[in-house]
Amino acid sequence: MTDPYRTLLPAPRRAARTGGEFTFDRVHGDPALVEVVHRLLGPMPVAAGPEDALLVRLGDGAPESYRLRVQEGGAEIVAADLAGAGHAVQILKQLIGPAAYRAGGRPGGVVPCGEVIDEPALAWRGGMLDVARHFMTKHTLLRYVDLLAQHRMNRLHLHLTDDQGWRVESRRHPEINELATHRRETMAGHRRSDFTFDGTPHGGYYTLDDLAEISAYAAGRGITVVPEIDLPGHASALLTAFPELGTGAGEVLRGWGISAGVLKPVPAAVKLVCELLDELLTAIDTPYVHLGGDECVTTGWTGDPEVAAHLAAIGARQPGDLHGWFLREIGTHLAGRGKRMVVWDEAFQTGGVLPDTIVMCWRGDAIARQAAAAGHDVVRAPEYPTYLNFDQSDRPEEPLSIGGPITLQDAASFAPLPATWTGPERARVLGGQFQAWTEYIPEERHLDYMVFPRACAIAETLWSGAPADYPSLVERLRDGHLARLDAAGCEYRPLEGPRPWQEGGAGRRAHSPVGRMTRQRWLEKGAQVPGSGVVDEATTHDG
């Protein structure tokens, strides 16, 4: 059997096996840490003393750091904090093996002796799930919390709103729940080649109680939920309930792309958004709120008398300036509640940032470097290679996606801290995350297929702060980690390619040749600072 100390993923800083093994079924130590063990490994008796038990205690060290020592007479976790203890327990589960990921097993397990000493290089290690384009059930999100925690990730970014659906209950404005949370049908093929629709309604939303549950469940596993309410663009769904507050209002969109459904940057819209955020923050316990700010079509603002009057009132020069104004106003409201705003990188270009705003950079390395150089904390989320909605190979069996490919090797090559940046620029990088946009990901099984194992590679780059050693990553997946995912019920894409039932076939999910990119083109695109933070033209084909 492969030495499990050699298949740990993400690879810890130091891990070495010694001889023998230790069997435990009891835990002892600091009650808060014992609780972490119970939560992550299952209930097990608390021993009166450390003999023959898993001993857990707090010690000194950097945030999230831990040491795990397993000897024949006992095992000990010394962690700097609860997060570090959680990581140590995740390592213990990886060492116990696949059985540790199955429900209803016996408490504890058999662990080969050895030692792990570890800490993360980056503080923000996340995954983004788009639950607006396709709603994912509460249970899917809870399962994703577990999967992220297993990879020692600590952020779940939920893209909760978009043109195709608003997924947050409002008790104050229940017309949102009625009108904005579902669409009458969904685009069936690729948006650039096939304008057919499936004729089937799609929808769903999380109640505030659901979101409170997800937030608490995540917190118990070391994960902070980062909710995103994406505005002022991507607002078609919200505008079904408040048509007077936007331009381009119509229906909850059925197709994909950049839409003309945009909130007007006026005080009444700011007031509504602040009310909705206040409600959301009764449910989600988080220091961070993502306000979106991406892909905003401002042409509808030009010539709108209400927008023109507001532009004059605040002395702005052009409608584009109002994009920045709108986000700053909401960010200031959030700051008053002790929350920090996060925005996509367009908002950095339009001035939609406060001094402590976190800029989440998706349009490549150059814009990320510019935001870091300007003194903003940056979360790296570049399309290449962190967008996991692209195909994983250029094989025709790959099912319908937006384009691609972005392979496992591409994901492993991600450099969160580019070597060409200056020290101060690199110091601004909080971390990074993968993105699972779900235009072409209609359900959970396909989400698993698209996210794993590429998310394993991204997790490793964020843990170490550097590209992963690809041959080693593949070896660890093949010799140990994929069996853990199997036991956890994760339907990842096998290294050899899709299983027969994961292929696109010849029907609705057939592979699309549209949207092909090469690594070279991705890199060239990302090396340019985008010309503008707003968009002149919608690209959706609804109607």
Contacts with ligand ACM, residue ranges (CB under 6 A): 294-295, 344, 362
Strand partners, 63: none
CB 249 within 8 A of CB 543: no
- Report d(CA 248, CA 182) in Å as an integer: 18
Question: Minimum CB separation from ligand ACM for residue 508, in Å?
Answer: 24
Rounded CA-CA distance 404/522 in Å is 10
Question: What distance in Å separates the CA atoms of residue 237 and residue 330, rounded to the nearest whole number?
Answer: 19
What residue spans of 236-351 are helical by DSSP H? Answer: 236-241, 267-283, 305-314, 319-336, 346-350
Which of 76, 542 has the CB closer to ligand ACM?
A: 542
Amino acid at 111: V
Q: How near is the Cβ of 444 to ligand ACM at its closest, in Å?
A: 22
Pick 81 or 294: Cβ nearer ligand ACM: 294
| N residues, the chain | 543
Radius of gyration of the chain (CA): 24
Q: Transcribe 156-218 into DSSP letters.
A: EEEE-EETTEE-B--SS-THHHHHTSEES--B-S-TTT---B----EE--B-HHHHHHHHHHH
Alpha carbon dihedral 210, 333, 160, 262, in 10-degree steps, equals: 140
Q: Which is nearer to ligand ACM, 347 or 510 (CB)?
A: 347
Q: What's the token pair of residue 287?
A: 């220091």
Contact 395, 497 (CB under 8 A): yes
| In the complex, least distance from residue 64 CB atom to ligand ACM, rounded to whole angstroms | 27
Q: Quick one: 163 or 210, whose CB is closer to ligand ACM?
A: 163
Q: Which residues pair with 27 in a beta bridge?
A: 46, 54
Q: How far is the CB of 47 from ligand ACM (least distance, A)?
A: 49
State phi, psi for 34 to the nearest 5 degrees: -60, -40
Distance (Å) of CA 300 to CA 200, 253, 311, 343, 540 = 30, 17, 14, 22, 15
Least distance between ligand ACM and beta carbon 11 (Å): 29
- Minimum distance, C-beta of residue 509 to ligand ACM, in the bound complex (Å): 22
> What is the C-alpha to C-alpha distance for residues 325 and 262, in angstroms, rounded to an integer?
15
> At its nearest, how many Å lie between ligand ACM and the CB of residue 236?
15
Q: Is 537 exposed, middle or buried (0-12, 13-18, 19+ CB in 10 A)?
A: exposed
Residue closer to ligand ACM (CB basis): 196 or 528: 528
Residue closer to ligand ACM (CB basis): 295 or 398: 295
The helix/strand count (H/E) of the chain reads as 19, 20
**503 exposed, middle or buried (CB, 10 Å; 0-12, 13-18, 19+)?**
middle
Task: Check if the beta carbon of residue 226 is closer than 8 Å to that of residue 219.
Answer: no
Shortest distance, CB of residue 411 to ligand ACM, whole angstroms? 17
Q: How far is the CB of 537 from ligand ACM (least distance, A)?
A: 15
Tell me how far, at minimum, the Cβ of 372 lies from ligand ACM, in Å.
18
Residue with tokens 């010694």: 18
Nearer CB in complex with ligand ACM: 417/535: 535
If the CB atoms of residues 90 and 433 are measured against ligand ACM, the closer one turns out to be 433
Nearer of residues 437 and 463 to ligand ACM, judged by Cβ: 437
Joined tokens for residue 166: 């608003």
One DSSP character per residue, 145-173 reads HHHHHHTT--EEEEE-EETTEE-B--SS-
Name the residue whose CB lies closest to ligand ACM.
294
Q: How far is the CB of 344 from ligand ACM (least distance, A)?
A: 5
Q: CB-wise, 162 or 210, nearer to ligand ACM?
A: 162
Report the nearest approach of ligand ACM to the CB of residue 293 (Å). Answer: 9
When the beta carbons of 130 and 169 are compared against ligand ACM, the nearer one is 130
Cβ nearer to ligand ACM, comparing 166 with 344? 344
For the bound state, the minimum distance from the C-beta of residue 528 to ligand ACM, rounded and expressed in Å, comes to 16
HSE at residue 512, side-chain half, CA atoms within 13 A, is 20
* Least gap, CB of 166 to ligand ACM (angstroms): 17
End-to-end CA separation in angstroms for the chain: 59
Cα–Cα distance measured from residue 284 to residue 226, given in angstroms and rounded to the nearest whole number: 9
Task: Return the number of the residue (130 or 329) whose C-beta is nearest ligand ACM.
Answer: 130
Instruction: Choose between 64 and 294: whose C-beta lies nearer to ligand ACM.
Output: 294
